[in-house]
Amino acid sequence: MHENDRPILRVRGVVKRYGARAAVDGVSFELWPGEVLAVVGESGSGKSTLLNAVSARARPDAGEVEFLTRHDGPVDVYALSEAARRLLARTDWGFVHQNAAEGLRMNVSAGANVGERLMALGERHYGRIRAEAGDWLRRVEMDVARIDDSPQTFSGGMRQRLQIARNLVTRPRLVFMDEPTSGLDVSVQARLLDLLRSLTRQLSLAAIIVTHDLAVARLLAHRMMVMKGGRVVETGLTDQVLDDPQHPYTQLLVSSVLQP
């Protein structure tokens, strides 16, 4: 069977509790190679908790998360050893944080930030690492002359682009993004969205993007999942959910924004 004929991620009945409250309450979905899924909802809907649970960052209280590995078929990510899980997260996965400082190492250079993930894959040749890092800075439209500068000297938009380069340098097949464009100026947002859109397509990345911004979902995602109170209330093709929302909550969300 060809790799693209199976879901890259299969999530079944995931529950995550904080005390007595279920922040995520029985969520199941599949993600296919090359597919971009937006998870939308207001703050407190459980969307970020879900992202952490499916990206192996916070073990769920119930349910399964199965990832289709390159060589060993589907594996339950929480059944892997800590070391194996970390390797997966540093190579075949990417995680783009809303706040770039959380996804970067702020005390080393831009080039080292990108090169670090290559070294995790065993690359030791300094010249090759530097060349690859420079190449990725170009791909995210950064000035390569800044390769030795610390991200502390970068603007918010530049930091976010650097974080994306750091994540994509290992050619991951699945990228998780938590509100990747919020907190940026609108003009910077547009540029970043366009960059994300072209990169996900060029690299056939599967991605899960958590966002409260329906316009971001419209632009980037093939499919959408609407969350409320820890549950999925509606799911479907992006234009279908936005143009013909079925659930009262989705209708409220869609009618509350200006032309998503």
Of 91, 223, 232, 233, the residue at the interface with other proteins (CB under 8 A) is: 223
- Which stretch, 52-60, 73-81, 107-115, 246-254, contacts other proteins (CB under 8 A)? 246-254
Distance (Å, whole) CA 224 – CA 44: 18
Q: Does 182 bind other proteins (CB under 8 A)?
A: no
Residue list 190-209, contact with other proteins (CB under 8 A):
190-191, 193-194, 197-198, 201
Q: Does 236 bind other proteins (CB under 8 A)?
A: yes
Q: Does 21 bind other proteins (CB under 8 A)?
A: no
Distance (Å, whole) CA 169 – CA 118: 7
Largest CA distance in the chain: 56
52: nearest Cα among 177, 158, 141: 177
> Smallest distance, Å, CB 105 to other proteins?
29
- Which stretch, 55-63, 100-108, 113-121, 248-256, contacts other proteins (CB under 8 A)? 248-256
Write down the H helix ranges in the chain.
Answer: 47-54, 82-91, 100-103, 110-120, 126-139, 156-168, 186-202, 214-220, 238-243, 248-255
Q: Does 244 bind other proteins (CB under 8 A)?
A: yes
Q: Which is nearer to other proteins, 22 or 39 (CB)?
A: 39
Q: Does 131 bind other proteins (CB under 8 A)?
A: no
- Could you give the dihedral angle defined by the CA atoms of residues 242, 243, 244 and 245, in that order, rounded to the nearest 10 degrees? 20
Q: Does 185 bind other proteins (CB under 8 A)?
A: no
